[in-house]
């Protein structure tokens, strides 16, 4: 924990005495956070949302430079063939008995360089990560609140698409454009449904599709998104929101009015244990929902079981 003789950071001051889920589940060892809301009853509720058998895969394509989006500090995934047909022509590989040949390859990447799920220990302030554990536990590898406990559990819940771009009659929200929980509620009502306790929130801003056409926009990283307020954080807690999914890099407007950056990573991820999935490809799902007016679905995501990692590539599925 931080020495209290040291002045609080601006983020710690902003979020001081705000809502918290620390100790709510299996204190002090819980590493699943708000995923604990996704019990068997929530899974059954999610399954009841399947009406048509239509499946939408929400991951961005990987190893295709024209389609990949990521934080400017990260590099695109590098894909290498280590064995292919030429290996047999060169004689560096031999067929199996009977003649079978095969290809093999590797990939090197930032684990959060595509559509991905963040571990709860991914971001922190005040030298303390999720559930009051020390930030030093991240040194070398994540020894607490890594992606592994989320991957071991899996993510299955009742998803709801909130198409903020269409709601505001835009192809994409503007750089830095913000919205809050009241806007989410109004968007849902306008779409003909409500947000209920335990819903997985899937928010479309149109930003990812816009950045594919205007990749230079990523350099400024002035994304649209949710903006922190004490009321918004309380709403997430009171509504038992387990997962936040968006089509942006950070799941929130980059800058808070107080000058604090990424305030929701502190308020929601670190303090409430809300699981973030970022850079989802929501265009096809959103178009289908606009067509048939069904905005709810079974949401499932399976991060990879990477021990000690801060996050994992994820291919979420929305099943309508």
pTM of the model: 0.93
Low-confidence stretches of the chain (pLDDT < 70) are 1-7, 65-68, 70-73, 220
Q: What does the pLDDT look like over 270-307, one tens digit per residue? A: 999 999 999 999 999 999 999 999 999 999 999 999 99
Identify the structural domains of the chain with CATH numbers, from first to last.
10-69+111-319 (3.50.30.50), 78-108 (no CATH)
> For the chain, how big is the Rg over CA atoms in Å?
21
- Measure the CA–CA gap between 78 and 83, rounded to whole angstroms: 16
pLDDT at 255: 75
| pLDDT for residue 91 | 94
- Residue 206 is predicted with a pLDDT of 96
Give the whole-angstrom CA distance, residue 120 versus residue 136: 14
User: Over the range 256-287, which residues count as b (16 or more CB within 10 Å of their CB) and which as e?
Assistant: beeebebbbbbbbbbbbbbbbbbbbbbbebbe
pLDDT score of 65: 64
């Amino acid at each position: 924990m931080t020495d209290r003789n040291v002045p609080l950071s601006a983020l710690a001051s902003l979020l001081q005495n705000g809502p918290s889920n620390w100790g709510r589940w299996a204190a002090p060892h819980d590493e699943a956070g708000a995923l604990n809301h996704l019990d068997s009853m929530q899974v059954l509720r999610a399954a009841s949302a399947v009406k048509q058998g239509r499946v939408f895969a929400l991951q961005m394509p990987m190893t295709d430079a024209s389609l990949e989006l990521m934080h400017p500090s990260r590099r695109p995934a590098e894909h290498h063939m280590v064995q292919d047909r030429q290996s047999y022509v060169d004689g560096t590989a031999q067929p199996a008995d009977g003649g079978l040949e095969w290809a093999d390859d590797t990939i090197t990447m930032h684990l959060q360089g595509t559509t991905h799920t963040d571990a709860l220990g991914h971001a922190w302030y005040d030298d303390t990560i999720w559930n009051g554990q020390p930030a030093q536990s991240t040194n070398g590898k994540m020894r607490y609140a890594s992606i592994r406990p989320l991957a071991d559990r899996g993510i299955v819940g009742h998803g709801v698409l909130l198409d903020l771009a269409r709601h505001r009659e835009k192809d994409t929200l503007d750089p830095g454009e913000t919205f809050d929980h009241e806007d989410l509620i109004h968007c849902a009502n306008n779409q003909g449904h409500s947000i209920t306790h335990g819903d997985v929130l899937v928010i479309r801003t149109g930003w990812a599709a816009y950045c594919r056409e205007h990749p230079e926009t990523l350099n400024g990283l002035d994304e649209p998104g949710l903006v922190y307020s004490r009321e918004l954080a309380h709403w997430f807690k009171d509504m038992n929101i387990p997962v936040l999914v968006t089509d942006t890099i950070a799941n929130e407007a980059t800058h808070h009015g107080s000058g604090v950056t990424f305030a929701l990573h502190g308020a929601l991820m670190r303090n409430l244990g809300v699981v973030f999935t970022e850079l989802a490809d929501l265009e096809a799902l959103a178009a289908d929902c606009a067509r048939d007016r069904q905005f709810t679905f079974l949401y499932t995501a399976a991060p990879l079981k990477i021990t000690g990692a801060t996050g994992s590539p994820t291919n979420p599925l929305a099943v309508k």
